Amino acid sequence: MTTRVTALGSADAFFSAGRGHTCWLIEDDSGACAVDFGATALQSLKKLKFDPDRLQAVHFTHLHGDHIGGWPFLLVDAVYRSHRTTPLVASGPPGTRDRLHALWAACYRRAAETPLPFPLEVREMQPGESAAIAGREVRAFAALHMTPPDVALSLRIDDVAFTGDTGEIPAGLCAGARLLCAECTYLSGDSDRHLSWEKLRDLKLPRVMLGHAGTDVREAGVKVCEDLDFVEL
């Protein structure tokens, strides 16, 4: 089975180098899902001529705006353009359900007062939990990014690993992974909330895609994703 992973957005929160906010698209024989859904994610799907209704699930690593900002646009497209009827699942850390609804209501208040025309399930996951979601195994790991009580996750979806935003790669996240999709916000230096190229360059993995890249990483010539770059496994 061929798995295709596309970087729909590859920049940090500041749109460094004019790139889009974080979003990864996974496509295989099981269907399609996204990991995070930044503000530019829907636009990137349209550039690919990818029907957003094909998304079966959106998995959020954490609830910062550059990772969830595209959610209301995905919903408004589903409600008013495509008239979606197929189910959609959203997963994320504790608090995901309320935050996603609040974002939807803040952007489109009247629409949020009306039930969606399609089934939406929100699954909240704690670090250490796993769940079968839309035909895939999703495992949650504790990421070092948020201030308690807020929680950030790194995710393992089948055999593809996603760091999300984190100061360290969680133990076990990459074991047996065919691909790691990692943030690479900084070129060097220690950070307790983000990864740097110094921490990533010696990883021994079959394949690595670097996203969430800051300006200094790109200017140094590190091979990071452009928007819409993809790999096939």
Dump pLDDT digits (tens) for 201-228.
Answer: 988 888 999 999 999 998 999 999 999 9
> Is the pLDDT confidence value at 130 over 90?
yes
Structure tokens at 40: 């530019």
Residues 141-193 pLDDT 10s: 999 999 999 999 999 999 999 999 999 999 999 999 999 999 999 999 778 89
45, 8 in Cβ contact below 8 A? yes
**pLDDT for 56-91, tens place per residue?**
999 999 999 999 999 999 999 999 999 999 999 999
Q: Which two tokens stand for residue 184?
A: 């690479």
| Residue partners of 28: CB distance under 8 A and separation at least 6 | 1, 2, 3, 4
Whether residue 1 is predicted with pLDDT greater than 80 in this model: the reply is no
Question: How far, in Å, CA of 230 to CA of 233, rounded?
Answer: 10
Give the model confidence (pLDDT) of 19-59 as tens digits: 999 999 999 998 999 999 999 999 999 999 999 999 999 99
Q: What is the pLDDT, as a whole number, of residue 132?
A: 98
The mean per-residue pLDDT over the stretch 102-119 comes to 98
Token reading at 115: 């039930």
Which residue, 201, 209, 194, 202, is CA-closest to 35?
209
Please choose, from the candidates 124, 145, 143, the residue with its C-alpha nearest in 3D space to the C-alpha of residue 133.
124
Q: Are 125 and 153 in contact (CB under 8 A)?
A: yes
Mean pLDDT of the chain: 96
Return the pLDDT at 27: 98
pLDDT value, residue 190: 77
How far CA 58 is from CA of 138, 159, 172, 226, in Å, comes to 11, 17, 23, 21
Please name each of the domains of the chain with its CATH number.
Answer: 4-226 (3.60.15.10)
pLDDT for res 147: 95
pLDDT the model gives residue 162? 98
Q: Which pLDDT belongs to residue 189?
A: 78
Contacts for 13-16: CB closer than 8 Å, 24+ residues apart: 13/64, 13/65, 13/66, 14/214, 14/215, 16/213, 16/214, 16/215, 16/218
